[in-house]
Amino acid sequence: MIIDTSGPPVLPAKQVADFKPSLLLGEHSLCPGCGEPVALRILLEVLQELDIVQRTIGVVGHGCYGSFVRIMDVDVLQCLHGRAPACATGIKRVRPGVAVFTLQGDGDMANEGLQEVLHAAARGENITCVMLNNGVFGDTGGQQTATTVLGQRTKTSIDGRDPELHGYPIPVADLVASLRGSAYVARGAVSTAAGVLQAKRMLRKAFQTQLDGAGFSLVEILTMCPTGWFVPTAEGPTYQQGTMEQTYGIGELVTR
Amino acid sequence: MSLELLDGGAAMAEAAIAAGCRFFTGYPMSPFTGLLEEMSRRLPAAGGVCLNAESEIEGVNMTLGAAAAGARAATGSCGQGIALMQEAIAEAALNETPFVVFNLARNQQDYFQATRGGGWGDYRTITLAPKDVPEAVEHTQLLFHLADKHRAPVMLYGDPLLAQTRVGVDVQPRDFGPLPAKDWVLDGTGGGTGRSRQIWTWAMGKANDPGPGPDGHWRAIADKFDRIAAEEQRHEESMVDDAETVVVAFGTAAKFVEHVVAGLRAEGHRIGWFRPVTLWPFPGAALRRATTGARNVLVFELNAGQMLDDVRIHAADRDAVRFVGGVSIAESGLSYGPLLDAPAIRERILGGAT
């Protein structure tokens, strides 16, 4: 979206207070420069804008974003590492009128739980899976995940991810997009303001897909992790743009 | 009472549906497969959902999710499949999500797996071991009640004879008494109210309403399992009062042992039998009473000696405890070998008694 700055704004500027979704019960406890709280915020805003706050259940995996369970004013099942799409399936099948989403990291979804998400997508399970992909195990201090990009330094690939030694990163959204049960699949990034707005539109479409009963939806969101990338905080967005966003590409992969 | 001729799988399926089970998952594995097939055929007609899960891990986690959302839910498998499920069974014990696990095993070699579990943390699994299909029907319904009563995953431990024997059974719903309200269930209505619900093993609560955290929560769970251990022990015994020899057995093997012991008693042997109905909690106090005065406490189980540990812990005189069972597997690997036979058991019992 291009914002026209040649004249006064058409819409009144938002008050700062408007920027805090009422579904947030407190401050997050993640590192400065982290992209995950940004993703959480747009996710919660989408729930409010779609007016489904009181018919939504979140299923949260394990990673830094697990701490969001304490600050999200949403019914939540905190589940085992990687298993969120399976748990979400059980919830959705017995409460089809409730919007069910998962919130998982790349370690959770691409490492521990790849088969859970692929099978849920193949079944066309009417849920929305959200993967926050920062290419690193942030919670445990910066080790290599299945989505760590080539050349990226982590504590378990200290000289950079080498395909000869560590293999290649997994493009989760692309894998999911290849399955017939997927009705909406997109990959966004929160490294720029425009990217945040785009990712929010993707989340909105994903939830709308579920509300329409159209099938499985997934949004992969690339999020900054300067701590786990061992780069200065302020360089997180630039680093992400030059590495992960080059590897994975941003955009919609499936719209049905 | 009306009897219906059903094999074990169909009988347990009907019993589960009568108990209100409306969500079931499974992954085919003999001899559990029959129950899965029966559920996939019968549950949709009752308004429920049965999924052939892509893996045991997904199956048990789907069941956990359905239970968290308030459904009476169940899953099942055997052996290696139960091993895969144990991460989630432990998790459900610690986050207090009730469901039933049908562990229809190939033999009795999974006693430790059922009663000790391979999951993480301080947890226990209520485990019932029916001796035959009619009792499995009752246990199936009782287990759904116990799961909701204690907010915990529970297990039925059976075997090929239980799964595949065709018997006339009564599958009418049974009433086991009142249950606490399911006021903890996730229904999606909590969002934005400041009182949204969470199911979380670590129980840390919300920023506006902190929970007890892992220390307080896990101590409360440990206390709960202590209460269950005191309240839920079940056993059967016969002819133990004057017995010099008490034979301890569970499940299908116990049914054979009852028959053999009754014959020996009729021949004048001072012998009785004791059957743990709950494998956890193990009916230890009852076993101590039943074995007081016995010179021989013989353990017959079709494995290398697993329940033997529990009998040694609880028998009045642990030096009287002797193992007379053994590993006995059919050539196919899928059921029991020749030791599950009355003459063979009789020989073992007579050889074990001094």
Q: What is the CATH number of the domain that holds B253?
A: 3.40.50.920
pLDDT of residue A1 exceeding 90, the answer is no
**B153 and B244 both lie in a single domain:** no
Phi/psi at B17 (nearest 5 deg)? -65, -40
Whose CA is closest to A146, among A164, A117, A168?
A168
CB neighbours of B18 closer than 8 A, spacing ≥ 6?
Answer: B141, B171, B172, B173, B174
**Per the domain annotation, does A155 fall within a domain?**
yes
Least CB–CB distance from B207: residue in A25, A91, A98: A25
d(CA B230, CA B240): 23
Q: What distance separates the 2 farthest-apart alpha carbons in chain B?
A: 74
**B334 and B253 both lie in a single domain:** yes
Q: What is the CATH number of the domain that holds B66?
A: 3.40.50.970
**Per the domain annotation, does A115 fall within a domain?**
yes
In this complex, is the C-beta atom of A116 within 8 Å of any C-beta atom belonging to chain B? yes
User: What tokens were used for B33?
Assistant: 């497969």
In this complex, is the C-beta atom of B184 within 8 Å of any C-beta atom belonging to chain A? no
State the total domains in chain A: 1
Cα–Cα–Cα angle for B68, B71, B124, rounded to 5 degrees: 55
pLDDT of residue A17: 47
**B143 and B46 both lie in a single domain:** yes
Least CB–CB distance from B65: residue in A75, A87, A99: A87
**Per the domain annotation, does A22 fall within a domain?**
no
From chain A, the residues in CB contact with B201 under 8 A are 78
User: What tokens were used for B242?
Assistant: 């004057």
Q: Give, rounded to a whole angstrom, the gap between the first and last alpha carbons of chain B.
A: 46
Q: Does A69 sit within 8 Å of B23, measured CB to CB?
A: no
Q: Does A73 sit within 8 Å of B196, measured CB to CB?
A: yes
**B144 and B66 both lie in a single domain:** yes
d(CA B112, CA B116): 5
**Per the domain annotation, does A67 fall within a domain?**
yes
Q: Does A56 sit within 8 Å of B68, measured CB to CB?
A: no
**What is the full DSSP assignment across B259-284?**
HHHHHHHHTT--EEEEEESEEES--H
In this complex, is the C-beta atom of A28 within 8 Å of any C-beta atom belonging to chain B? no
In this complex, is the C-beta atom of A93 within 8 Å of any C-beta atom belonging to chain B? yes
From chain B, the residues in CB contact with A83 under 8 A are 57-58, 61, 88
**Per the domain annotation, does B186 fall within a domain?**
no
> How far B350 CA sits from the closest chain A CA (Å)?
50
In this complex, is the C-beta atom of B344 within 8 Å of any C-beta atom belonging to chain A? no
User: A13-18: long-range contacts (C-beta < 8 A, 24 or more apart)?
Assistant: none
Spans in chain B with pLDDT lower than 70 = 1
**Per the domain annotation, does B31 fall within a domain?**
yes
**Per the domain annotation, does B189 fall within a domain?**
no
State the total domains in chain B: 2
Whether B197 and B190 have beta carbons less than 8 Å apart is answered as yes
pLDDT of residue A2 exceeding 90, the answer is no
**Per the domain annotation, does B284 fall within a domain?**
yes
pLDDT of residue A13 exceeding 60, the answer is no
Cα nearest neighbour of A26 on chain B: B207
User: What tokens were used for B89?
Assistant: 């069974």
Average pLDDT over residues A163-186: 98
> How far B277 CA sits from the closest chain A CA (Å)?
31
Tell me the pLDDT band of A10, cut-offs 50, 70 and 90. low
In this complex, is the C-beta atom of A197 within 8 Å of any C-beta atom belonging to chain B? no
**B245 and B108 both lie in a single domain:** no
pLDDT of residue A16 exceeding 50, the answer is no
In this complex, is the C-beta atom of A54 within 8 Å of any C-beta atom belonging to chain B? yes
d(CA B270, CA B242): 7
User: Which one of B75, B186, B201, B209 would you mutate to disrupt binding with A, by most A Cβ within 10 Å of its Cβ?
Assistant: B186
**Per the domain annotation, does B202 fall within a domain?**
no
In one letter, which amino acid is B134?
Answer: P
**B40 and B161 both lie in a single domain:** yes
CB neighbours of B103 closer than 8 A, spacing ≥ 6?
Answer: B76, B77, B78, B82, B110, B113, B114, B127, B155, B156, B157, B158
> How far B183 CA sits from the closest chain A CA (Å)?
13
Query: B299: domain range?
Result: 235-353
d(CA A40, CA A44): 6
**B156 and B244 both lie in a single domain:** no
Q: Does A55 sit within 8 Å of B188, measured CB to CB?
A: yes
**Per the domain annotation, does B24 fall within a domain?**
yes
* B291-318 per-position pLDDT tens digit: 999 999 999 999 999 999 999 999 999 9
* Structure ipTM: 0.96
Helix (H/G/I), strand (E/B), else coil: A36: helix
Q: Does B188 sit within 8 Å of A99, measured CB to CB?
A: yes
d(CA B315, CA B288): 5
**CB neighbourhood size of A22 (10 A):** 11
From chain A, the residues in CB contact with B188 under 8 A are 54-57, 75, 95, 98-99
**Per the domain annotation, does B207 fall within a domain?**
no
From chain A, the residues in CB contact with B49 under 8 A are 93-94
Q: Does A90 sit within 8 Å of B73, measured CB to CB?
A: yes
In this complex, is the C-beta atom of A80 within 8 Å of any C-beta atom belonging to chain B? yes
d(CA B23, CA B75): 8
Q: What is the CATH number of the domain that holds A69?
A: 3.40.50.970
Whose CA is closest to A145, among A116, A124, A122, A172?
A172
List of E strands, chain B: 4-7, 21-26, 49-52, 72-77, 100-104, 126-128, 154-158, 166-169, 198-199, 205-206, 209-210, 235-238, 245-248, 271-276, 278-280, 296-299, 321-323
- Residue ranges in chain A assigned as alpha helix (H): 36-49, 84-94, 106, 114-122, 163-166, 172-177, 193-211, 226-229, 236-242, 244-248
Cis peptide before B31 (omega within 30 of 0): yes
**Per the domain annotation, does A9 fall within a domain?**
no
**Per the domain annotation, does A24 fall within a domain?**
no
**Per the domain annotation, does B275 fall within a domain?**
yes
* Helix pair B56-68, A114-122: axis angle to 10 deg: 70
